[in-house]
Amino acid sequence: MPTLINYSGKDELYNERSFYPSCKRARIDAPFVLWGHESEQEKRSSINVLPDECLFEIFRRLPGQERSNCACVSKHWLTLLSSIRRAEMCDNDTVMVSDDKEVDGCLTRSVEGKKATDVRLAAIAVGTAARGGLGKLSIRGSNSSHGVTNFGLSAIARGCPSLKSLSVWNVSSIGDEGLFEIANECHVLEKLDLCQCPSITNKGLIAIAENCPNLTTLSIESCANIGNDSIQAIAQGCTKLESISIKDCPLVGDQGLASLLSSSSSVLAKVKLQSLNISDFSLAVIGHYGKSLTSLTLINLRNVSEKGFWVMGNAQGLKSLASLSISSCLGVTDLSLEAIAKGCSTLKQISLRNCCFMSNNGLLALSKSAESLENMHLEDCNRITLPGVISALSNCSSKFRSLSLVKCMGLRDMAFQDVVLNPCISLRCLSIKNCPAFGSASLAILGKMCPNLRQVDLSGLYGMTDEGIHSLLESSLAGLVKLNLNGCINLSDECVTAVARLHGETIKVLNLDGCRKITDVSLSTIASSCPLLSDLDVSNSAVTDSGIAALSCSEQLNLQILSISGCSKISNKSLPYLIQLGKSLVGLNLQYCSSLSSSSVDMLMGNLWRCDILC
């Protein structure tokens, strides 16, 4: 008989009718009769004539595996078995431990789309009880005809009191009743994730708050009927809550957040607020009471002004904040940034996206005041210019390690003359991506300012030339380890030659995807001069079979990942060379190599069975 816990695919054990009617499969111990019918006496003596109360008493006395087997007989039996609470089971069997050493409450199950049905949840509830107990359940979507309802979630609650993590996404048919059962039975619940569940209201979440004191992580997204009352209940009942994320819940406002953040027993360390109808008051509360916060994310808060961010910084309560991420908030200005930098003395990482009122002055104030700052990410901040970046780098602390500039249209190519620059010797990682006006002259300046770079990402800078890359390479004294030049279409073999000559002994990752002028000359240079290179991407370039041959002949090269996607000049002649390279490869990308036949790819896959091949 199939083991219930490993059951997958369509619900072929059952017909497509309603979950409740009995559709039994006879269990017969007598010799099999090819034709004929059961006698009336046999029918009357069948166990199926017993009332549900008797079957319930029988089932709850069976050992765990036997209960799982009985659930395979019919929907009726499965329904009865899934109604038995763990506490009502009479057996004291030791929890089964499988080969992978599963223990109580560590099993993970996920149901999605058409497979998300009450039948499947009931089967999981019964089956996991015999295999160590369910610890984590994820429900994504629901079967349109007979999907997940409160009945299925209730079965999980009754059969899986060990449940610690529950995630429900895009299931409109689950409401408060199902959450009531989870709250009443699963008292060890630690993580709850609700997304697009319009039928769940404050009542369901309040039940969780009153019965699940171990809750540490709560995420609520697009739940239109969850509001301040339930957030206040969470603040009172879940004193171990460490992380909360609330997104696009129109009924959640200042009142709920204030009670959550100002609670004297709060140990909240991570807060994410996105697309909420909150005002400056909420940020003031965060700034005053957020003494335990280490990570704060604020996204698309349209009703929060400059004053809110200014008060948040000046309240001097965010003494433990290490990571701050702000996106699409009009209240982020130079003045508010300066207040945040001064008030968050332990800030190590800051990310600012689409902050249209932030300028060079705010950037400079941030770099001067945030003395513990290590990482900065600026994206779609179009008032930031190259002089502002240089000024910030000249004034940053000795702890500053990483700078990322993405889609900052104010970064334009310009040369500086007769300017005394204070180098930023602490910077190790520089990323300038998709800034179309940024060019070689600007890169030369940054190269001189940051002599100890180890990782550089210049992807999407289609105006970059060999001269700009060469100036950066010459200024980098520590030895580059990672270099990403993806999409720099004007670079040629001269650039790779410079990389090999100046940093060949240290380079480990080199990305030349989309560099159309890169030829076999570059691969030959790499093969002879880059012994530590483990990850090479020359996709959509002009390399040919000869270049692959050069790589395979290298005695010192030990590539682990090679991507030649979109290289139309790579043909079947490269097959023996790729097999030779495959002795060390764990990843090979051959997508869109139009000159490679399917038979050659099949041969590669047969020979390089330890290598993950994309084709």
Q: Which residue has the tokens 């190519």?
A: 413
At residue 94, the pLDDT reads 38
In a domain, 594, yes or no: yes
Cα(451)–Cα(447) distance, integer angstroms: 6
Mean pLDDT score across all residues of the chain: 87
In a domain, 126, yes or no: no
At residue 68, the pLDDT reads 65
The pLDDT tens digits of the residues spanning 295-327 come to 999 999 999 999 999 999 999 999 999 999 999
User: Where are any strands of DSSP class E within 81-227?
Assistant: 107-112, 134-140, 165-169, 191-195, 217-221
Q: Band of the pLDDT at 115, cuts 50, 70, 90?
A: confident
Q: Band of the pLDDT at 69, cuts 50, 70, 90?
A: low
Rounded to an integer, what is the distance from CA 246 to the centroid of its chain? 17
111, pLDDT greater than 80 = yes
Q: Band of the pLDDT at 45, cuts 50, 70, 90?
A: very low
Give the domain-ending residue among 20, 55, 88.
Answer: 88
10, pLDDT greater than 80 = no
Q: Band of the pLDDT at 44, cuts 50, 70, 90?
A: very low
Residue type, 254: D
In a domain, 301, yes or no: no
The pLDDT tens digits of the residues spanning 127-179 come to 777 666 799 999 998 877 778 899 899 989 988 889 999 999 999 999 999 99
38, pLDDT greater than 50 = no
Which position has the higher pLDDT, 423 or 31?
Answer: 423
In a domain, 347, yes or no: no
CA distances from 108 to 8, 94, 220 (A): 14, 20, 21
At residue 547, the pLDDT reads 97
Window from 67-76, 423-432, 439-448, 524-533 with minimum mean pLDDT: 67-76
Domain range for 521 is 502-615
Q: Provide the Cα torsion 470, 473, 474, 477; round to 10°.
A: 180
Q: Residue 293: name the closest of 325, 267, 319, 269 by CA.
A: 269
Contacts of 139 (CB under 8 A, 6+ apart): 110, 111, 112, 116, 121, 148, 167, 168, 169, 171, 174
Query: Which stretches of 291-385 are DSSP H helices?
Result: 306-314, 334-343, 360-369
Encode 560-598: b = buried (16+ Cβ within 10 Å), e = exposed. ebbbbbbbebbbeebbebbbebbeebeebbbeebeebee
Which position has the higher pLDDT, 138 or 96?
Answer: 138
The pLDDT tens digits of the residues spanning 210-257 come to 999 999 999 999 999 999 999 999 999 999 999 999 999 999 999 999
Mean pLDDT of 489-504: 97
Q: Please state, as a whole number, how many other Cβ atoms lie within 10 Å of the Cβ of residue 333.
A: 20
Q: Please state, as a whole number, how many other Cβ atoms lie within 10 Å of the Cβ of residue 202.
A: 21
61, pLDDT greater than 50 = yes
Cα(70)–Cα(576) distance, integer angstroms: 56
Which position has the higher pLDDT, 119 or 377?
Answer: 377
Domain count along the chain:
2
Q: Band of the pLDDT at 47, cuts 50, 70, 90?
A: low
At residue 97, the pLDDT reads 35
Which position has the higher pLDDT, 538 or 478?
Answer: 538
95, pLDDT greater than 70 = no
Give the domain-ending residue among 53, 88, 123.
Answer: 88
Q: What is the pTM of this model?
A: 0.84
In a domain, 599, yes or no: yes
106, pLDDT greater than 70 = yes
In a domain, 34, yes or no: yes
Contacts of 69 (CB under 8 A, 6+ apart): 1, 4
Give the domain-ending residue among 88, 107, 128.
Answer: 88
- What CATH number is given to the structural domain containing 586? 3.80.10.10
At residue 6, the pLDDT reads 44
Q: What percent of the chain has pLDDT over 90?
A: 72
48, pLDDT greater than 80 = no
At residue 99, the pLDDT reads 35
Cα(581)–Cα(370) distance, integer angstroms: 48
Tokens of 314: 């000046």
13, pLDDT greater than 60 = no
At residue 91, the pLDDT reads 56
In a domain, 42, yes or no: yes
Q: What percent of the chain has pLDDT over 70?
A: 82
Window from 243-247, 366-370, 495-499, 563-567 with minimum mean pLDDT: 366-370
Cα(302)–Cα(279) distance, integer angstroms: 8
In a domain, 581, yes or no: yes
At residue 236, the pLDDT reads 94
At residue 378, the pLDDT reads 98
